[in-house]
Structure 1
Amino acid sequence: MLVTLFVSLLLTCTSAKDQNVVLSRLNDTKAVEAFVASAEVVLVGFLEGEDSHGYKELLAAAEKVNSVPVAICSVKEIWADYSVSSDTITLFRKADNHQENLVVAEAVKLDVDGLVNFISTNEVRYITEYNQVTAVGLFNSEVKTHLVIFANRGSEDYSGLKDKLSVLAPEFTGKLLFVLINGALKSNSRSLGYFGLKSKDLPRVGIYDGNSDMKWLLPEGDITVERVQDFCQSFIRGELKDVKQAGETNPKTEL
């Protein structure tokens, strides 16, 4: 009973007419912190009120993108904690501890489709399935190193590796982004070729370092959490610099 009362004091709900979406209203710092920590990706509208430009668009976008929790914070005293000074729609993501701000006053055109696109292109998760949309958020991230999981969609490996390695991804928050690439998709053949792979070679796991434009493959064998963890740690310790890059014909040293 007390717990229920406490939660209701932290979160009150608001809804707009003719909308099916009900958004949590965050009224203090603890409520915002709890909401941001509640999922891998969340969206907070730091908006003055229901009459603010962007409010109705945010409600409509929340209805379309139901995979991302959305809330409203109208308490300006809290905004400064998140470096927000005017009406702003902010996406928070855990995979790289990133905060992406869409300042309403600076938006050239703020409509529902544009807001949905903002969410979709920045929806980077602990394991992000690669496509043309998610590529924007991945390559705009300050984390330039990717642990790449190559598998063919439809195979047991695709969902199996995603589930298995998802427990490992949080350990490397801010260091590596985990990316799942569907090798059965023709448009991804260039990514496979960059690592010297073909669809028939999968599943495989590699690391791409965008800072040095270098890439390595985990040697063939069972793809276990322990092996991938050691592979990631080897990169962080700088031990892969002397290991052959994926696709090289004259290796320096085998891992």
Structure 2
Amino acid sequence: MSRITILIADDESEIADLIELHLKKEGYHCIKVRNGQDAIHAVQTYPIDLAILDIMMPKLDGYEVTRQIREKFLLPIIFLSAKISDLDKIEGLVRGADDYMTKPFNPMELVARVNAHLRRTKQLSQSAAEVNKPIVEIGGVVIYPDQRVVELYGKPIELTPKEFDILYLLARHPKKVHSAEHIFQQVWGEDYYEGRNTVMVHIRTLRKKLGEDTNKHKLIKTVWGVGYTIHV
């Protein structure tokens, strides 16, 4: 069994050491860096399974590191930041993170979230390997689940792993209304806690990438008080 490697990018060595201590107890291998440039180099050099990124790092901040990672890699990204407002959290998710924790933090909660994201990634990989999933076409969108590629009217669009999973979940069951709780449980693979805003933010960015911010026709529809659906 190959070891799981986690990247810890934080310029505060005490925090990085604390995270490493708890993750090593779980059997994970850790690579620690103290700036954004070294974080990019690590992802390009080593087989990183998950990244924990501070936002305010020297040389390149966490947002830019995430942008560059998302150009080539689908690994889960958790922001761990001293920026604590709701707007900061929303910004982090919009920029491509899969999760967001604020400092000071509970190391055991961070470990639990790491485990959940890795478990979900493993489940998705196993499903893709075991099942030849059919291509889904709906409303000008074509989804290639095995390749995790989405095209909009013949042109590929870049989605984060969570955005892809949400779109694929909705597209596989057109006209069915999915509650925010159900989406969170299916996509994040964990119990629903404070997940409503997380789902809402991902739906918002997904709609923008589908061009729905400038298009009167909405592929993803909101059923107020119930949830979300795809209905052409």
Specify the TM-score bucket, using the shorter chain as the normaliser.
0.3 to 0.5
How high is the TM-score relative to the length of structure 2? 0.33
How high is the TM-score relative to the length of structure 1? 0.31
Kindly indicate which of the two structures has a greater share of residues assigned to helix: 2
Which has more radius of gyration? 1
